Structures are given as C-alpha cells and as structure tokens.
C-alpha cells in the first residue's frame, strides 16, 4: 500500500495495523521516477489588495520550518530537503513503524511546464468546486492556522 494522504489513513479501523508502504511502480520509459505526489498550488490574485502579505504567508507555508512540521504530520513536501523528507509521518501515529522511506524512494518527477498563456484560463470553481469549499484549502487552513497565528502575532 502506498498512502501519502493522512486523511485516508484516519479512516482506517483501529485494528487495521497489518499494512505497510511501498514505492509507486514506475514506467519503463521513466525508471526510478516517482509520480507527482499530491501537488498543492499557492498563488495570489492579481486583483488582491494584499499581494505582499499573501506572498509572505505563502513564503512561510513553504518555509523549511512549516514543511518540516507538515512532513512530521504526514503531509508530503515540495522541498528537496532530506531532513524534511526523513521526518515524514514522525508525529502521525498510524505511520509509526511503517516503511515511510518508500514515499521518496524514487526521484521526484520534473514539474510540468507552465500553462501556455494563450490557453483559456480555467476558473478554480470548475477545478475544485470553489476555493472556499476546496478540501485542500480547508485542510491547509486547519493544519497551519495555529502556527500562522503564532508567527504573525509576534
């Protein structure tokens, strides 16, 4: 089993302990290249009055400090940082004793090329059902709200 989404593991019955993690299979054309792991996208809107503040929040969310905390909680990282990768699942009980090294066993896939500016933009509500209802946004907000509050309160 390969699971990098802790929400799925939260639904496991408490007696479901006989499982482990393996690396994802790779394609013949791309041996040792991992699939894209649960991508997250952060951006500011052109129309925002708070672009600088929004960018500071994004910088903080992507900082080593926050990525390390998220990794320990069982969230995959976008950083190419061995310390952060090795911390994966350390504080998430259902991952204790599991082969979490499998998650990063293969090399990361290269990011996709930027979307061609000539293509028609796709509004977020068609992709995620709208940002306020986006499960990823809600998950991110819950995971980081306390730390963000403490960091920016100083």
Identify the pLDDT of residue 93: 86
- Please state, in angstroms and rounded to a whole number, the distance separating the CA atoms of residues 127 and 133: 11
Per-residue pLDDT of the chain in tens (154 residues, 90 and over written 9) = 444 456 677 777 778 888 888 888 888 888 888 776 666 677 788 888 888 888 888 888 889 999 999 899 888 887 888 999 999 999 988 888 999 888 888 888 776 677 777 776 655 554 444 444 455 555 555 555 555 555 555 5
Give Cα 131 distance to the centre of its chain: 17
Q: Residues 2, 22: contact at Cβ < 8 Å? A: yes
Question: Percent helix, strand, coil in the chain (nearest 5)?
Answer: 45, 0, 55
Q: Residues 66, 144: contact at Cβ < 8 Å? A: yes
What contacts 79, CB < 8 A, 6 or more positions away?
A: 62, 64, 67, 85
Contacts 24+ apart (CB under 8 A), 92-99: 92/6, 92/9, 94/6, 94/9, 94/10, 94/12, 95/6, 95/9, 98/19, 98/20, 98/21, 99/20, 99/21, 99/22
HSE-up of residue 114 (Cα within 13 Å, Cβ side):
3
pLDDT in tens, 117-128: 777 665 555 444
Identify the pLDDT of residue 133: 44
Euclidean distance between the first and final Cα of the chain, in Å? Answer: 42
Closest CA to 73 of 91, 60, 99: 91
pLDDT in tens, 48-79: 888 888 888 888 888 999 999 989 988 888 78
């Amino acid at each position: 089993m390969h699971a990098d989404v802790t929400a799925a593991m939260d639904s496991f019955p408490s007696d479901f302990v006989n499982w482990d993690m393996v690396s994802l299979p790779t394609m013949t054309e791309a041996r040792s290249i991992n699939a894209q792991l649960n991508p997250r996208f952060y951006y500011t809107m052109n129309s925002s009055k708070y672009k600088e503040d929004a960018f500071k929040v994004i910088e903080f969310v992507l900082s080593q400090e926050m990525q390390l905390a998220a990794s320990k909680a069982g969230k995959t990282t976008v950083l190419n940082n061995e310390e952060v990768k090795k911390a994966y699942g350390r504080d998430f009980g259902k991952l204790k004793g599991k082969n979490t090294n499998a998650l990063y066993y293969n090399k990361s896939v290269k990011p996709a090329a930027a979307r061609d500016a000539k293509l028609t933009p796709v509004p977020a509500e068609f992709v995620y059902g709208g940002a306020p209802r986006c499960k990823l946004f809600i998950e991110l907000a819950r995971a980081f709200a306390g730390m963000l509050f403490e960091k920016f309160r100083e």
